[in-house]
Structure 1
């Protein structure tokens, strides 16, 4: 996703964290609890829910624009993996005001606009974009549903807890899958763009990237823990009511 999408998602998560911090300090979701500021919680929940829906809408529009570009535009923006490369200074050329020199290393990828990619590469890149958008939209809708549960005082309902578990699986599978799609698309694009190049003529050669980030595993674990916490939170009032009734 674009940088603005990441920022928007971070804002939503911050709002949700503030909301649950308030709930925790006020003793839960019971508006009759001493010191509970229902107005503050309601405002935070409404704002966070609105931002979550805005995030979902903007992410969907952005993804649709990128999918259209990958499918129909003659030029496609793509990250090409390359073997470690740093351009050498031609013999006889002196660089003025140079106070330091590169003695090792180089870049291993390049973000470029490419013309003439084949259909298979475009399909892989488009699939990665769609999966990335789907994961973001699902998480955004979950946050909106959590806020609605706070507003309606149904935060610990069983249906929501089951939904969080399913979304955890979706984030895990979708987060890994979209990275694989982008990696395959980038590798194919690198072969098409740099297939005839080489460092012997001063150009980088195509590399092979399989560097997958495993943050979806951590995110899924957090969601599973959240579902377990909500399940426990829903059981506490029942236990208290049972002891009171007894």
Structure 2
């Protein structure tokens, strides 16, 4: 469903997306090229004591690094602008759709759930688009380029990739499998917090008239704590993703 949604709303932004892909390609190739230059400095400069070669290749490394930084900044800039534009369009569409609902449909979904769909859910789609532009575009380029560079350096040693890559895939898949129900639970708890808060704001005079302040504080605290607990558990799993990948 998300793929169809993004395909529909990203179609008007094909030119910025193409620019992001180009910048990510250049940045990733530069990232893969820098270790080779560093190896050349050690093999042909440091070992042989050739200061001129060290300065020459070092200057080339500096130029490649500057180009990599410029491409990274450009990719994040255009990726963020495109993701925010998609979020704006999606919010407008959801708002227009909700305005056309009948009273029965509004009662079926509930105001707290519709508020969550218009705010938090759209923000999640924005973050998905942004992460796609910044990470998911460069990941396959890095994968293919990294394997090619590894084979170029040492074919027998590159056989380790036959073990490392499946292990990495299994670890990431396990983390994602554990996170999915937690994120579903977060959505339900966000709906609950929105519902409780909306009821309290709407009925604040009745709450004060019947001296129900303490009860309502405890009620909101329970909903808020439930959301925090699930968010912390999901955050701990997410925090495992990057170090596991790097390891």
Do both share a fold (TM > 0.5)? no
Choose between structure 1 and 2: higher strand proportion: 1
Which structure dedicates a bigger proportion of its chain to helix?
Answer: 2
Alignment TM-score, normalising by the size of structure 1: 0.32
Per the normalisation by structure 2, the TM-score is 0.32
